[in-house]
Amino acid sequence: MSEDFYDVLGVSRDATEDEIKQAYRKKATEYHPDVSDEPDAEEKFKQVKKAKEVLTDDEKRQMYDQLGHERFEQAEKRGGVGGGAGGRGQGNPFGGMGGGGQGSPFEDIFSQFFGGGGQGGRQQRNRPRQGQNLRTQVALDLEEVYEGVEKQFTVTRPEQCTTCNGRGHPADADVSTCPECNGQGQTTSVRDTPLGRVQQTRTCPRCEGTGETYSETCSTCRGDGITREEATLSVDIPAGIRDGQTLRMEGEGAPGENGGPNGDLLIDVAVRDHEAFERDGDDLYHRHPISFPKAVFGATVEVPTVDGTTELDVPAGTQSGEEFRVRGEGMPHLRGRGRGDLYVQVQVVTPESLNEEQKEALEAFAEAGGEDVDVSEGFFEKIKNSHLF
Ligand code: ZN
């Protein structure tokens, strides 16, 4: 039932607060139960109100953007978002949320916002985290998609620094306790939020949570533990994939933190246009010229397929523009059996030049049909003249 708040208000995800308020006023007027006679106006009005409430609150909006609609609502139901902001003092304003140590995804996100609570920042800061997903694009020819192909491509991505193995400092650097957080890895402050007073704990910016500082930083990665590297990868392109679809290579994204798994690499597939075929789903369309006599008497003509040619029987009396289906000569069904069809649209070609014999034959043809054609000025002249105008 519930819809994305941005959709409800009809604003883009980067809409300003003013835009959101403006959209709200418009929608609220439209759906106000006293005004609207739509049967579900009241429900819609509530949704609009709710959407505005969340999206005009910086904190909630940020959370909404990170969690997504469904998870935001779930979290809210569990009292995580709007509900009692009590729990001061014990550090975690959202009691009841994933009480266990390594629990729910919410805990993770909530701890980003609100410090994630009293129980053991020390373990939390070293918790393994999955690396980010990365995105790249691979362009393919129709022929490659027809067969399926192993495609090589290069991608520039963050990788763990090989000089320091991701530590950010030489192995023999001197260690001392971080003076900023006294080795806690976190700094704590108390802050007023719309949900009440919240004790906020952040990862220490100086030591980035390690609680330690080092006499030297790694000269390769300058202490990040991460370098940008170009990698050459290959991906199996399944036959029949379509333009705009996405493939996922697990573990080929950014490196995880604290021993967490790597993110994934998402590959957006682009399929280049083909000069002979247009594609619609798994079907292909091709325009094929045939001569006037063949259209009249019928003929077997050779038409191209993606990987060769096939024969098409054109019946006698075919009109220009008629379409014929060649079964099974379209694109392969993705991860299935068989292929789509090839549709051939026949175009009857009017000759632009004729030899003497053809000219006489055509004249005789016209006369036999009772048509009066004037070819005296010279067929070729006529063609030339008609091209001038
Ligand atoms: Zn390094």
| 141 lies in the same domain as 284 | no
Question: Do 131 and 249 belong to one domain?
Answer: yes
Give the list of residues 6+ apart from residue 155 with CB closer than 8 angstroms, or none: 134, 136, 230, 231, 233, 252, 265
Q: Are residues 152 and 292 in the same domain?
A: no
Q: Are residues 291 and 220 in the same domain?
A: no
What pLDDT band is residue 37 in, cutting at 50, 70 and 90? low
Q: What is the pLDDT of residue 266?
A: 95
Q: What separation in Å is there between the alpha carbon of 255 and the centre of ligand 1? A: 14
In terms of residue numbers, what domain contains 330?
276-349
List the one residue out of 298, 301, 321, 318 whose CA is nearest residue 310.
301
DSSP H/E element including 199: strand 196-203
**Over residues 207-224, mean pLDDT:** 88
Average pLDDT value for the chain: 82
Separation of 228 CA from ligand 1 center, angstroms?
A: 11
CATH number at residue 29: 1.10.287.110
Distance from the alpha carbon of residue 222 to the mean position of ligand 1, in angstroms: 6
310 and 224 in one domain? no
pLDDT for the residue numbered 189: 82
Q: For residues 328 and 338, is the Cβ–Cβ distance under 8 A?
A: yes
Least confident segment among 80-89, 161-170, 375-384? 80-89
What residues does the ion ligand 1 have nearby, CB within 5 Å? 161, 163-164, 218, 220-221
The answer, yes or no, to whether residue 94 has pLDDT greater than 90, is no
Q: How many domains does the chain have?
A: 4
Give yes or no: residues 258 and 210 share one domain: yes
- The whole-number average pLDDT for the span 212-236 is 91
Q: CA 382 to CA 378: how far, in whole Å? A: 6
Whether the per-residue pLDDT at 149 is higher than 90: the answer is yes
Residue 102 confidence class, pLDDT cut points 50, 70, 90 = very low
Q: Average pLDDT of 361-368? A: 90
Range of lowest pLDDT (17-26, 140-149, 338-347): 17-26
pLDDT at 99: 33
Neighbours of 99 (CB within 10 A): 12
User: Do 301 and 341 share a domain, yes or no?
Assistant: yes
Confidence of residue 85 (pLDDT cuts 50, 70, 90): very low
Tell me if 145 sits within 8 A of 271, measured CB to CB.
yes
Whether residue 338 is found in the same domain as residue 258: no
For ligand 1, the distance from its centroid to the CA atom of residue 92, given in whole angstroms, is 35
- Give the pair of three-digit tokens for residue 88: 């001061």
Residues forming a β-bridge with 301: 312
Q: What one-character-per-residue DSSP string does 277-308 give? A: -EEETTEEEEEEEEEHHHHHH-EEEEEEETTE
Q: Give the CA distances from residue 186 to residues 104, 121, 129, 279, in Å, rounded to whole numbers and listed in that order.
A: 21, 7, 17, 56
- Ligand 1 mean position, distance from CA 257 (Å): 14
Rounded to the nearest angstrom, the distance between the alpha carbon of 160 and the centre of ligand 1 is 8
